Amino acid sequence: MKIGVLAMQGAFIEHINALKTLDINGIPIRYKDEIEEIDGLIIPGGESTSIGKLIKIYGLGEVIKERIVKGLPVWGTCAGMIILAKHIVNSDITHIPLMDIEVVRNGYGRQLGSFSKDVEIKGIEGGAFPMVFIRAPYIERVGEKVQVLAEIDEKIVAARENNILATSFHPELTDDLRMHRYFINMINERTNR
Ligand code: GLN
């Protein structure tokens, strides 16, 4: 199994390392042809404006969109969630708008918006998950086909729409690999179908 990690900007190395711990080959993605050969894609956290601009410059948007529409499992963490959102409450720019969610960028504030909290996630066994938030977005509204996986004070912080997974927090910055395993399962479910 090969999982691509979009390597434009942000926390891509941390995701590749987490995958390595699970014996999975994480491939940094920078060019179009690299997208053909992957079984899943992670869009990391960072700065969604920069990631969005670089996706455009490298001409990756359409190719990624096509593969996701055809069923490629994709997981956006933090800025990655913003990249995949169809609606961004406080911005006119969307990037790869495929997930029917409405996100609030920098939902917890810009500077003092970093915190961590242990929260239960639907579909993840073994107790609450240590969620690390860094100037994170949250989901304000989801479409009918979107399953809410976790919430904090009525703010949605994890959700899934078929092959698209989005989390507000950064599992790659903790030692807890359950969220990465969950995504690997999404890929296995698809290939075993
Ligand atoms: N605040 C960033 C943005 O709007 C996201 C922060 C993150 O990915 N940790 O893109």
Q: What is the pLDDT along the chain (193 residues), one digit of tens a residue?
A: 999 999 999 999 999 999 999 999 999 999 999 999 999 999 999 999 999 999 999 999 999 999 999 999 999 999 999 999 999 999 999 999 999 999 999 998 876 678 999 999 999 999 999 999 999 999 999 999 999 999 999 999 999 999 999 999 999 999 999 999 999 999 999 877 6
Within 10 angstroms of residue 145's Cβ, the number of other Cβ atoms is 11
Residue 40 φ/ψ region, left for φ over 0, alpha for ψ in the -120 to 50 degree band, beta for the rest: beta
Distance 6 CA to ligand 1 centre (A): 15
Question: What does pTM read for this prediction?
Answer: 0.96
Q: Which fold has domain 2-191?
A: Rossmann fold (3.40.50)
Cα(166) to ligand 1 centroid in Å equals 13
Q: Cβ–Cβ contacts within 10 Å for residue 32, how many? A: 13
